[in-house]
Structure 1
Amino acid sequence: MPTSRTSCLRLLALFALLPFHTVLGAAPAADTAVRTGTLIDVDAGRVLSQQVILLAGDRIVAIQDASVPLPATLRVIDWSRYTVLPGLSDVHTHLIGDIQSANVAAPLMSTGARDALIGAIHAEATLKAGFTSVRDVGTYRAFVDVALREQINTGLLRGPRMMVAGAYVTISGGGGEVTGMAPDVIIPADFRRGVANNADEVRARVRELIAGGADFIKMIATGAVLTMGTTPGAAEFSEKEIHAAVEEAQKYGKDVTAHAHGADGIKAAVRAGVRSIEHGSLIDDEGIALMKKRGTWLVADIYNGDYIAEVGSAEHWPAEILEKNRQTTDAQREGFRKAVKAGVNIAFGTDAGVFPHGDNGKQLAYMVRYGQTPMQAIQSATISNARLMRKDTDIGSIAVGKYADLVAVDGDVLANIRLLERPSAVTKGGVLIQ
């Protein structure tokens, strides 16, 4: 009679003879085929010709050469004249409420309902522009972003997959507050849900925001260009206070990102353990080296400065804001160039909401101008962003098992990256958006 060890070996041998799908379960049968002319493989940084992407429901189940015959039962999307890329993502957006204007009191002149409705319009514009995922990094009125995310998830609204911050964590009168009002104006409580002035208050705000539905925490570590009365280069939270947020968020499996313009604030946030630095306008060489060492992501909105200079001047935005923009724009772009050269993790984030939603793709050409190759810029807006958001098993590349989020452009996007400013077609989860 065979020993138990012999029986086990025979059983393993039997399993080895079976097809892989028999052992682990067959992949779902494809219901849709997407024919591509050129496919951008961002995982490998290569270009493939004449490929077919097979979908089952909202996921990719296979990628094969176009010469392989297809079952007659498949629905076929013929993009054989297009270059096809993964759905793009933007990890620094503000979908809720009005676009930035000269009126610093504008956030107080809208209702929560109106902010949400406008957010729905912005979400659809973002999706149509090829951005199938976003990280929304803060809203003045707390938790409206959570509501928008939930209604997109239910399918009631069309928009990108959203990760949301719930509200800004900011000091009193800091870069995440509505400022510039008369001293006796009382700012509503739902605009101040994230205000904290010491480490204990920071921990409390983090817990409250996560309980309210936040996917991550956004800390305003320095002053802001667009917040009256604050100085971009000045630190507003200490390293200890930022670390308190990081430590508290980690208890719930959440990350912290830091709005940080000034060099000292950037370095304090990196040492405290934040996942990414937003803006990074006045970063110095020490900060770049520290980010490289720690693996911290840089999200630099390097298109934004030109928009603020042009539109802000034409619309007579406050002189203080225009001057701070002048002081940070060129420095930010030079810091970005140095960070790219140093090998810092670069993510794609635009600060959409300062400029109109749907124009997110305009930043890609700036990223190429300031140091990235076209492929690197595309990777920043796809697989790199997915890794930053810890979503790379679901989004970020055209790969088996991931969502069928696809963008098609008419032409060679590596020769002309501006083609991504207005894609020809978009799918989210296999659903044709346009």
Structure 2
Amino acid sequence: MTDPAASSAGGRPLPPPGEPPAAPIVLRAARWADVDAGVVRSPAVLVVAGDRIVQVGPGAAPAGATEIDLGDMTLLPGLMDMELNLLIGGPETPTGLPLPMHGVQDDPAYRTIRATLNARTTLLAGFTTVRNLGLMVKTGGYLLDVAVRRAVDQGWVDGPRIVPAGHAVTPYGGHLDPTVFQRLAPGIMPLSIGEGIANGVGEVRACVRYQLRHGAKVIKVSASGGVMSHSTGPGSQQYSDEELAAIADEAHRAGVRVAAHAIGDQAVRACVRAGIDCIEHGFLAGEETLRMMAEHGTFLVSTTYLTDAMDIERAAPELRKKAAEVFPRAKTMLPKALAAGVKIACGTDAPAVPHGDNAKELAALVSRGMTPAQALRAATVTGAELVGLDDELGRLREGCLADVIAVPGDPFHDITVTQDVRFVMKNGRVYKSPPTR
């Protein structure tokens, strides 16, 4: 929450977090990041009215405006995490994956409350927009991430703008079938089509329609095996070409995009051919497949940092073996994707990376060959394009939604400053501000 003692340079208190400002807000700082040009500009003067940026650059302040002088900081657009799961991880759980019995120990109500805490942590880390990519737990058919989105949008809890996927669509025994994370015996946890388990063209169409009917704004499909589940090999294609095409067709006719968990090269290619919009991970994609992605305009969310930092020590030996085989190969994929011209968006797969550590993904992208400017674009303008809001988010520009964060230093020279967010505004509302100097 905003420090109650925080105030404007003129001594007037800032609006409480979550409350609409009573007057326009003028944000001042030493610098602001022009993510399109890849440079910082000075000084930073942003005028916010309601939920929009209405002025960028020096000029007459509106009458009665609240002024917030952030001093020697750089203003950035709110950052975006295009793959996480707010419903798992966070309080009372160890960091990393696999989470112990996460699929069966928490009931839906407790899990939803957990998500509100993870949402606040994510927002205060400077990530103002996220995609919650795929429930993989038994809920009785309730779309818990849709409920959390509604609570955030109505101001009941603090959190980022959430693009929810509802339940991930997966076949029996697929990577996101929750029973295979714990190797549950048959009949222990039966799951419905509404909860994401679907086989064959007819069932996957019904499953997609169910998620859309109940509020999903993106569809997540498990197209290949995974590393941290007791299912098929991580590179294997799990759905047929016909099933993948049916999933994409159902979503696209409703104007909704599809994200695919796909690690193996064959699975990635099948997703691209099916018209799926975004590949999550893509760890084993080859150069020809990456060129194919670039030609089709398919996005990549590479979840780079988890291959360096994910805690797998508590995983079963066979899962650690898979990680030892896949993760080193994944580290060579991102430079090839960059060279091929693939559109790359920032995503962490949190809680594979702990909630709140999301900005470490930007440093990992730089360590694999991106410039800091490219990494910032991945976490702003490319993310905004991926969620279809590139006219409203991702830039500090007149007319855009007022999602603004502040960090010390120059992120175009030191990307790690994005891990030290001192100020957070979302939709023109202040959620975090440094104490009064």
The TM-score normalised by the length of structure 1 is 0.89
Q: Is the 8 A contact 2:345 2:383 kept in 1?
A: yes
Bigger radius of gyration: 1
- Alignment of 1:55 onto 2:48: yes
**Residues of 2 paired with 1:403 and 1:350: CA distance?**
24
State the Cα deviation string for residues 236-275 of structure 1 (Å, max 9, x = none). 0122211111111111111111100000000000111011
Moved more, 265-274 or 422-431: 422-431
**Residues of 2 paired with 1:71 and 1:211: CA distance?**
44
Determine which of 122, 127, 135 is the counterpart of 1:126.
Answer: 122
**Residues of 2 paired with 1:203 and 1:192: CA distance?**
11
Cα distance, 1:422 vs structure 2? 2.2
Q: Is the 8 A contact 2:194 2:210 kept in 1?
A: no
**Residues of 1 paired with 2:275 and 2:339: CA distance?**
23
- Alignment of 1:106 onto 2:99: no
Aligned residue for 2:72, secondary structure, equals strand
Query: What CA RMSD, in Å, does the superposition of the two structures yield over aligned residues?
Result: 1.7
Question: Which residue identity is paired with 1:70?
Answer: A
**Residues of 1 paired with 2:243 and 2:187: CA distance?**
28
**1:136 corresponds to:** 132
Cα distance, 1:212 vs structure 2? 1.1
Aligned residue for 1:349, secondary structure, equals coil
Determine which of 22, 26, 31 is the counterpart of 1:33.
Answer: 26
Moved more, 175-184 or 125-134: 175-184
- Alignment of 1:117 onto 2:119: no
**1:238 corresponds to:** 240
**1:258 corresponds to:** 260
**Residues of 2 paired with 1:112 and 1:69: CA distance?**
51
Call closer, same or farther: CA 1:233–1:80 in 2, change over 3 Å: same
Q: Is the 8 A contact 1:98 1:107 kept in 2?
A: no
**Residues of 1 paired with 2:353 and 2:56: CA distance?**
37
**1:12 corresponds to:** none
Give percent identity, aligned residues only: 37
**1:291 corresponds to:** 293
**Residues of 2 paired with 1:71 and 1:229: CA distance?**
60
Call closer, same or farther: CA 1:156–1:355 in 2, change over 3 Å: same
**2:147 corresponds to:** 147
Call closer, same or farther: CA 1:102–1:237 in 2, change over 3 Å: closer
**Residues of 1 paired with 2:99 and 2:120: CA distance?**
25
The TM-score normalised by the length of structure 2 is 0.88
State the Cα deviation string for residues 94-113 of structure 1 (Å, max 9, x = none). 10133554555332011101
Cα distance, 1:131 vs structure 2? 0.1
**1:321 corresponds to:** 319
Q: Is the 8 A contact 1:413 1:419 kept in 2?
A: yes
Q: Is the 8 A contact 1:199 1:241 kept in 2?
A: yes
- Alignment of 1:75 onto 2:71: no
Structure 2: state its 5+ residue gaps: 1-21, 91-95, 433-437
Cα distance, 1:185 vs structure 2? 4.4
Determine which of 336, 339, 354 is the counterpart of 1:338.
Answer: 336
**Residues of 2 paired with 1:136 and 1:70: CA distance?**
38
Question: Which residue identity is paired with 2:155?
Answer: G
**1:21 corresponds to:** none
**Residues of 2 paired with 1:164 and 1:320: CA distance?**
32
**Residues of 2 paired with 1:169 and 1:51: CA distance?**
45
**Residues of 1 paired with 2:268 and 2:191: CA distance?**
29
Cα distance, 1:356 vs structure 2? 1.4
**1:410 corresponds to:** 408
Question: Which residue identity is paired with 2:67?
Answer: V
- Compare relative contact order (CA 8 Å, sep 6+) and give the higher one, 1 or 2: 2
Cα distance, 1:306 vs structure 2? 2.2
Determine which of 274, 280, 291 is the counterpart of 1:278.
Answer: 280
**Residues of 1 paired with 2:408 and 2:423: CA distance?**
9
Cα distance, 1:229 vs structure 2? 2.7
Aligned residue pair count? 400
State the Cα deviation string for residues 286-325 of structure 1 (Å, max 9, x = none). 11110011010010011002222xx322xx2211222222
Q: Is the 8 A contact 2:282 2:302 kept in 1?
A: yes
Question: Which residue identity is paired with 2:293?
Answer: M
Cα distance, 1:200 vs structure 2? 1.4
**Residues of 2 paired with 1:103 and 1:47: CA distance?**
40
**1:204 corresponds to:** 206
Q: Is the 8 A contact 2:384 2:393 kept in 1?
A: yes
Aligned residue for 1:107, secondary structure, equals coil
Call closer, same or farther: CA 1:258–1:71 in 2, change over 3 Å: closer
**1:64 corresponds to:** 57
**1:6 corresponds to:** none
Moved more, 253-262 or 30-39: 30-39
Q: Is the 8 A contact 1:30 1:55 kept in 2?
A: no
1:385-396 equivalences under 5 Å are: 385-396=383-394
**Residues of 1 paired with 2:73 and 2:377: CA distance?**
19
Question: Which residue identity is paired with 1:169?
Answer: V
Question: Which residue identity is paired with 2:335?
Answer: R
**Residues of 2 paired with 1:40 and 1:107: CA distance?**
41
Cα distance, 1:81 vs structure 2? 1.2
Determine which of 346, 349, 354 is the counterpart of 1:348.
Answer: 346
Question: Which residue identity is paired with 2:43?
Answer: Q
State the Cα deviation string for residues 354-384 of structure 1 (Å, max 9, x = none). 2210000011111011111101100100011
Aligned residue for 2:380, secondary structure, equals helix
- Alignment of 1:363 onto 2:361: yes
State the Cα deviation string for residues 105-163 of structure 1 (Å, max 9, x = none). 33201110111011000000000000000011011235111110110011001000000
**2:76 corresponds to:** 85
